[in-house]
Amino acid sequence: MSSSPASSAAVTITRRPAGQPPVLSLGQQRLWYLDQLSPGSAAYNIAMAMRMEGNPDLKALKRALDAIVARHEVLRTVYLSSQGRPLPVVLRKFSVELKEIDLRHLPAEEKHEAGWRAASEEATRPFNLGRDVLLRAAVIRLTESEGIFLHASTHIAFEGTSIGIFYRELDHFYDAFTSGREPSLPELPLQYSDFALWQRERLVGERLEQLTAYWREQLSGAAVLNLSTDFPRPALHTMTGKRHFFVLPPRVVAAMNQFFTENKTSPYRGLCAVFVVLMHAYTRATDISVGSPFALQRVTGIEDLIGFFVNTVVIRTSVGGGDTFREMMHRVSDVVRGAIQHSDLTFDKIVDAVRPPRDPSRTPLFQLNFRAPKAPYPVLHLKDVEFSPLKYIDNGTSKFDLALEIESSKGEHCYFEYRTDLFKESTIAQMVTDFEKLLDAVVAQPDIPISQLAAFSEVRAGQARKE
């Protein structure tokens, strides 16, 4: 996920006045309305599963989870509906669900598959925003000393940058409770709702006009991308989807990262450019828009807050067969730089500013999404228990026609997320092959027009046969 470089030194957020009810951030408000349109969907669940060696103290783990939720109001806020508008209510009494699933009785050859199936079921269980504590966890026991630990939340309260905060605090509370000590974390100076109020008060007047003008000019007349699909496009976007995981060959990854380093660009920007080239090869489109989540600046006072600090912006890039990849990469980098500088305008307000034609079968402004972490995801550490990453869980949804996520900071672990009502899995498998071919080719010959690359011609020819 890309991150804003904006300085936080001159920005101050204060607590909302005592007795003033909490408010939703603009991003939360959009997610609440989306949840109202598709109740019972797991599309915005965020869940992590990891291998676990050791026997955690479940009572201490439960106390630690409760302590985190007590500390972060956003995790114990429910959202009621009042005359069609969200009404946030902070729960005073709550209990985090920590489920223990015991599979030790199963035959050895069945345990791991059953464990993974149980983890997937827990990860894809929807949250009821009007009732549920927005954090839950499960310990899945496979043997006396081996299992799976899973935690799940939803984007209205949690996102990628919250994971590190959650792990640090879980480690702290668990260590204290298993050692008979009192936790010693300092009180949080702010809560998420203080940020939400500050955000709303800041996006007014001249600042709002400047941001709106930028995005209106940047996205005016943006074309709709028409990917060739395996099935007719349904009238409504159902968000049914799947993830196709793959690992790039070590040789390709090494060459790619060396090239990006030599050209002073990040894997995020470089791989986004390759994705744009791939979509150009597939569609012949010269105007391609890609949505991408950006972390909002963590200004003073909210550095240690769990919450929804992400905004989706649009990377619109022109591309033609006569462009070299080096030119494309620098062009994408320039567009990303401008997007970062103007990423404070929330996506719903960008849509309001641009006013694209509405199509209930597509997301507005873009149908492609590109995501990549700025740093490796952290690994949980608890006393006497070892954890190692398992993998992302396929939650059976896709918010966009097609998304490419780079799971690791070096770029080797990836997945395509796609709508199963549009694409067959075999099509996406071929897309992986095409992506690898193009990546290898553009890094090896970055100054040749992309239309003259043999790999580009092969991909385009294969797409023409498909059509």
Is residue 41 pLDDT above 70, yes or no? yes
pLDDT in tens, 46-91: 999 999 999 999 999 999 999 999 999 999 999 999 888 999 999 9
Asked if residues 87 and 32 have their Cβ atoms less than 8 Å apart, the reply is no
Q: Which residues of 178-207 are buried (b: 16+ CB within 10 A; e: fewer)?
A: beeeeeeeeebebbbbbbbbbbeeebeeee
Question: How confident is residue 1, by pLDDT bands cut at 50, 70 and 90?
Answer: low
Entry pTM? 0.90
Question: If you search the block for the tokens 């966009």, which residue do you land on?
Answer: 400
Question: If you search the block for the tokens 């990849």, which residue do you land on?
Answer: 325
What is d(CA 437, CA 170) in angstroms, rounded to the nearest whole number?
Answer: 43
Q: What angle do CA 271, 416, 407 make, to 5 degrees?
A: 60
pLDDT the model gives residue 412: 85
pLDDT in tens, 287-331: 999 999 988 877 888 999 999 999 999 999 999 889 999 999 999
Question: How confident is residue 233, by pLDDT bands cut at 50, 70 and 90?
Answer: very high
**How many Å separate Cα 401 from the centre of its chain?**
15
Lowest pLDDT segment from 94-98, 286-290, 343-347: 343-347
Is residue 230 pLDDT above 50, yes or no? yes
The domains found in the chain, sorted by start residue, are: 2-194 (3.30.559.10), 220-376+389-466 (3.30.559.30)
pLDDT the model gives residue 391: 61
What is d(CA 303, CA 284) in angstroms, rounded to the nearest whole number?
Answer: 43
Mean local confidence (pLDDT), 434-450: 95
Q: Which two tokens stand for residue 65?
A: 């989870």
pLDDT in tens, 250-294: 999 999 999 999 999 988 999 999 999 999 999 999 999 999 998
User: What does DSSP say about strands 85-90 and 97-102: parallel, antiparallel, or unpaired?
Assistant: unpaired
Mean local confidence (pLDDT), 8-12: 58
Question: How confident is residue 467, by pLDDT bands cut at 50, 70 and 90?
Answer: low
Question: How confident is residue 452, by pLDDT bands cut at 50, 70 and 90?
Answer: very high
Q: pLDDT > 90: what percent of the chain?
A: 75
Is residue 5 pLDDT above 70, yes or no? no
Question: If you search the block for the tokens 């630690």, which residue do you land on?
Answer: 64
Question: If you search the block for the tokens 């963590």, which residue do you land on?
Answer: 298
Mean local confidence (pLDDT), 179-199: 94
